[in-house]
Structure 1
Amino acid sequence: MPSWTSIRTETSAAGSTHDVIRRQYIKRLADYTGRNVIVYYSGWLEKATLQAQGLQGFEVNDSDKNGFMATIHEMDRDKGLDLLLHTPGGNVAATESLVDYLKAMFQNVRVIVPQLAMSAGTMIALSASSIVMGKHSSLGPIDPQIGGVAAHGIVEEFQRAHREVREDPGTIPIWQPIIAKYSPTLIGECEKAISWANEMVKRWLMEGMFSGEDDPGQAADRVISELASHALTLSHDRHISLANAQRLGLNVEELEGDPELQDCVLSVHHSCIQTLAETPAFKIIENQNGIASIMAVNLRPA
């Protein structure tokens, strides 16, 4: 007969109703594809108020590596990996480290974007062998962020200030308080971050998605010239649709092309979003075996 302690442990491991339902759908997806599945979901949309109040951790960061290590442990890595990605992006260094780790663990990684994979999330998607998107899915520009501001935007603002002051010194009083908010070394940091992100993504595309092209470098440059150009994308928040991703030559599979896969993916997506909206959880990293790293906010009264 199970003891009180063992039953309590079993109950705790089973999780809430949200956990039970979500894990059921993640396993169903893995059973259908015959591949490993990891969901990486951020609740930046569902908990935007808490983010605005200073809650940290919604973005891609170095602590995520621990969640991936836990979920990948004991997987049959020969099955490859389907990574369901829903994120606003985050730190470039953490993104590089995470992608390098996934590439070391799996020879074939497919990224599935049920809704949004922006900024560093797009960079992760571009490192994959292929991307699955629906008509409702979006990628985004890959220009890096410095202190929450697009690096390209900061560089452009400095260049505009330099040009206008040179042409009309009378604009100095206008530009002085604007430029004063930036540190002296910021422009150099922005330029290095832009170059770093571009070189990183180009290498991933050449080694992965475009490795079979006649000229992988040229194919990669075509993608980077558009997704990394602030002048073309205009906003860091711009959404890149399935059709636009295909136009760029990316290896994109249409989710609607496989109705059963679509049903499995959207069931996982909806269950993850409901968890983020209706529980204290604000980030979920979880595999088809129910192994999870879930970050949650303490909502207890002060």
Structure 2
Amino acid sequence: MQSFSFGDLLWIFFILMAILPAWRQYRLETVRMGLIRKLEKKRGSRLITIIHRQESLSFLGIPISRYINVEDSEAVLRAIRLTPDDMPIDLVLHTPGGLVLAAEQIARAIQKHPAKVTVFVPHYAMSGGTMIALAADEINMDENAVLGPVDPQLGELPAASILETVGLKGRERVDDRTLMLADIAGKALRQVNDFIYHLLAEKMPSEKARQLAEILSCGRWTHDYPLTCEQLDGMGLPVRCELPAEIYTLMDFYPQPPQRRPSVQYIPLPYSREKH
């Protein structure tokens, strides 16, 4: 009978440590695809998810932060091309935002789809995520979910704040680099304003669309300002403050990587007052 040395056991341990995360990820993807297909059959639609969390993808468990990027836009555009013109599209959005180019590409493709497009926001869709949501025919949000302003950012600096700073100090009192940043900031604000107007003009009167595009893109609020379902409804956007239960179930299978000590803990069961 062959015996295993300590070195053999160590190698087996490392092989299992390398394979186990990949197997878990495969199982997770299988369950996700099953839930997505179930929702598609129920609603007669194509379901696309843009869900950006941190996921532990390597055997070292290193979390990778996700944002809207060109790879996302390529995948979404491919999914839309594979969808018949008469088939509705459902889009689950959970994102802090990301690259403006990618968000605009996705928004344009959604707007051009002939059938109804519904966006579901279970928690938040900020910045570029809001831009995508504005392109949809209907936005369904959890009652506590939020969207956000779409004012452009140049690196870590809000474009509107750059222009405000130059205006306060005067052009003669700032350096050439700041003046160039101000020029780019002005172009970015105009471009985003025009794009948002283009998205909204089909949903409301032109004057109202121009006014709302200005509000959302001009830097009136900080970039992380939460726009609630009630506020968005008051702006005249096609918002519903409810989500199908299946969307919450789907989100459970996009977990954050486990931490040694969780920040939030609770018993994950629904309670009723009578049985409590």
The TM-score range, normalised by the shorter chain, is 0.7 to 0.9
1:134 deviates by 1.4
Q: 1:99-118 to 2 correspondence within 5 Å?
A: 99-118=107-126
- Answer whether contact 2:193 2:214 (CA < 8 A) is retained: no
1:94 deviates by 2.5
Paired AA for residue 241 in structure 1: T
Partner of 2:239: 252
Partner of 2:257: 277
Paired AA for residue 229 in structure 1: C
Cα RMSD over matched residues? 2.9
Question: Is residue 120 of structure 1 aligned with residue 102 of structure 2?
Answer: no
Question: Is residue 30 of structure 1 aligned with residue 40 of structure 2?
Answer: yes
Q: Which has the higher helix share?
A: 1
Q: Which runs of 5+ in 2 are unaligned?
A: 1-21, 57-61, 259-276
Paired AA for residue 30 in structure 1: E
Q: 1:222-241 to 2 correspondence within 5 Å?
A: 222-231=211-220, 233=221, 235-241=222-228
Question: Is residue 203 of structure 1 aligned with residue 198 of structure 2?
Answer: yes
1:35 deviates by 1.4
- Structure 1 CA distance, aligned partners of 2:236 and 2:111? 22
Residue in structure 2 matching 1:266, options 239, 248, 257: 248
Paired AA for residue 204 in structure 1: L
1:33 deviates by 1.8
Residue in structure 1 matching 2:208, options 210, 214, 219: 219
The 1:74–1:228 alpha-carbon spacing in structure 2 relative to 1, beyond 3 Å, is closer
How many pairs align? 231
1:230 deviates by 1.9
The 1:181–1:248 alpha-carbon spacing in structure 2 relative to 1, beyond 3 Å, is same
Q: 1:16-95 to 2 correspondence within 5 Å?
A: 16-43=26-53, 58-72=66-80, 74-95=82-103
Partner of 2:5: none
Give the TM-score normalised by structure 1: 0.68
- Structure 2 CA distance, aligned partners of 1:254 and 1:63? 30
- Answer whether contact 1:120 1:144 (CA < 8 A) is retained: no
Paired AA for residue 111 in structure 2: K
The 1:181–1:134 alpha-carbon spacing in structure 2 relative to 1, beyond 3 Å, is farther
SS at match of 2:251: helix
Encode CA deviations 1:65-101: one digit per residue, 9 max, x unaligned.
3222443453334221111111112222222222223
Encode CA deviations 1:6-58: one digit per residue, 9 max, x unaligned.
xxxxxx999622212222222232222221110011126x78xxxxx9x7x83
Paired AA for residue 243 in structure 1: E
From the CA coordinates, give the structure whose radius of gyration is larger: 2
The 1:156–1:183 alpha-carbon spacing in structure 2 relative to 1, beyond 3 Å, is closer
SS at match of 1:32: helix
1:62 deviates by 2.1
SS at match of 1:83: strand
- Answer whether contact 1:143 1:229 (CA < 8 A) is retained: yes
Q: Which runs of 5+ in 1 are unaligned?
A: 1-11, 48-52, 167-171, 173-178, 211-215, 279-302
The 1:108–1:246 alpha-carbon spacing in structure 2 relative to 1, beyond 3 Å, is same
- Answer whether contact 1:81 1:106 (CA < 8 A) is retained: no
